[in-house]
Amino acid sequence: MGRIFFLLIILVPTTSFAFYQFDDSKNSIDARGFLRVAGWATQNPNNEFLYEDDNDAGIYGLARLLVDAKLGDSVRFEFNAYEFYSSSALEWTQRNDKKKNAAFTIDRMNVAVSYDRLDVTIGRQPINLATVYYFTPNDFFAPFSASTFYRVYKPGVDAIRAEFRAGMLTQITLVGVLGYKNDAGELSGWSDEVATNKSSTIGRITTVVNDYEFGLLGGTVSGDNVIGGSFQGEFFGTGLRVEGNFRERDDGNTSEISAELD
């Protein structure tokens, strides 16, 4: 009976609703959230060297809050944050209590303003310049690993981004991203002190010619000079995506290219 109940929970889809919603045709607010909780218990072997206690139990929780707001046709606000908690004997952390770990993270918090053919977004936001899906050399800022399949919530970076629609099928993108100094004592590995030599400025232009999209990008990423490009289109019913870049580094230049068939 328990197995049937478990299968019903994971296999039967349910509709998600906002817990707060306001819309008067010009202005709107949409607030959503979800909570994920898991727990476990173990009975350890009689080995004091590997196991401090005879029994261990733990709990894991993740709570996420998402807020999207619109003011008229020109201003938008986005907020995406989560609280993580873990009480586990299976984790090792450099803390006084190694069995407990908690963190509050803001993935996104930004304001976007639109005027005519120009969109400007300021704040913590996801920046993705990739064309392919799995191996993405042109995704420079908080990229997903190739083995990550759940990519709904891409982490954001502190940035300003401008998108200009130069034509029906041509777009120009300018991005500036703040860099921060390393701090091994922090859980994220970064401090809150800005490092100008790790900041990035990059531009990209994409256009479509005869149903094929071509892209060219260039600038600096964490102090390295970068130039690259991308292509995507369809040949005989099969989609082809290609991207790559050349990066000039102090410790040696690097080149990356990735191709993908749909």
Q: What is the pLDDT of residue 164?
A: 97
Q: What is the pLDDT of residue 95?
A: 47
Report helix, strand and coil shares of the chain as percent, to nearest 5.
Answer: 5, 60, 35
CA 189, chain centre distance (Å): 17
pLDDT in tens, the chain (262 residues): 656 666 666 666 666 677 889 999 899 999 999 888 888 888 888 877 777 778 888 888 889 999 999 999 899 999 999 898 887 544 444 444 555 577 888 989 999 999 999 999 999 999 999 999 989 999 999 898 888 887 878 889 999 999 999 989 999 999 999 988 877 666 656 677 888 888 999 999 999 999 999 999 999 999 899 999 999 999 988 999 999 999 998 888 999 999 999 8
Contact 178, 201 (CB under 8 A): no
